[in-house]
Structure 1
């Protein structure tokens, strides 16, 4: 009898991590998943946690919220300080220099390294073989900790640094946001439960980079966007 796979899902409640989670569940209907959501002092913490809780309740899977607020106290990210979050227009997404600049403004020091290391500890402790992440090609263009190189390097690290056979799976690693929306539509993802805004308002601000990428993704995918935007 084939053993049902166990996985730890790093879940923010946003499009990418939610679709990646659905991908695992659809491909492993008998699998077990423990989703973990991080509160690192980000402005959107409450909304991300609420979105993640809704998704996990919808799927009937275990969910834990982890307090790592010390991480948000490091550096000067606009996500965790009183600095203003940069605003963009859809046309700005084609300006790589501008996007690299805004990425630096919201960069949280070693965030994905910390998150993935903690998820690795959960995986080893719970005998999970997989860690599910929402890293994707579009994000990797400005955030190096979403890239194939980062994925490969971390999997090499796990092979050396753990006493278990743990593998990070990033099913969206070769996808842009609109392709992720299309996949989510195929899987029946309740997009209305997801949350992407950096600001943490009840409604999406509509002008932070995450909101703008979300808007464009639904538009390019020709999928109805259930999101309420302020602008």
Structure 2
């Protein structure tokens, strides 16, 4: 049984990655980060899920870096969360500079320290247009570096890199997953807003699978 680290945000993509790694027979260690995100509610969801699964889970506070990467609408209250479809140019304001390189570097260090063989994260094709650090070329280069940065080569595993969110959801539903135990909305309020890019893409994924999202929404119009 291979030991792996899963970067687990609490969102539906990383929730599916977490369960995929478990289903594939790996010994999973979940790793979450508080980087000053406005939707920090996702970490509470992540904690609840890992407790239920009995999966070792660390939540690491790296919010001090927000001084350096605060020009994203996800990390700054000064910028409004954009609404509408994910592919619109306005969604570029949700890019957190260098986020995945930072998180992957920390996760790789953790993997080395516990003797894990791989780090999993939930990049997918729906993110390619907006987020440079979710594109295949970024994953390949990071994988190359990860294999030589330590004495122990660590693989970066991205099981859904070429899947869209609907396809990820389809795999999760086939595993019998309950997506009521996830949080996707960029606004960390009591209910999901239904209007931000993350909510819109999530709702489209459920519609493409002919099923209803179990989360409660403020609005779905």
- Residue by residue over 1:146-179, the C-alpha shift from the partner in whole angstroms, topping out at 9 and shown as x without a partner, is 1111111111001221111210111111100111
The two structures have a TM-score, normalised by structure 2, of 0.94
Whole-angstrom distance in 1 between the partners of 2:109 and 2:173: 32
How much does 1:143 deviate? Answer: 0.8
Give the conservation status (yes or no) of the 8 Å contact 1:182–1:223: no
Q: In structure 1, what is the equivalent of residue 90 of structure 2?
A: 101
Structure 2, gaps ≥5 residues long: none
Q: CA RMSD in A?
A: 1.2
Structure 1, gaps ≥5 residues long: none
More helix by share: 1
Whole-angstrom distance in 1 between the partners of 2:75 and 2:206: 27
How much does 1:58 deviate? Answer: 2.6
1:133 to 108, 116, 121: 121
Whole-angstrom distance in 2 between the partners of 1:139 and 1:39: 21
Give the conservation status (yes or no) of the 8 Å contact 1:9–1:35: yes
Whole-angstrom distance in 2 between the partners of 1:37 and 1:17: 10
Q: In structure 1, what is the equivalent of residue 82 of structure 2?
A: 86
Aligned residue-pair number: 217
Check if 1:17 corresponds to 2:9.
no
How much does 1:73 deviate? Answer: 2.4
Whole-angstrom distance in 2 between the partners of 1:150 and 1:44: 25
Check if 1:145 corresponds to 2:133.
yes
Which stretches of structure 1, 4 residues or longer, exceed 3 Å deviation after superposition? none
The two structures have a TM-score, normalised by structure 1, of 0.90
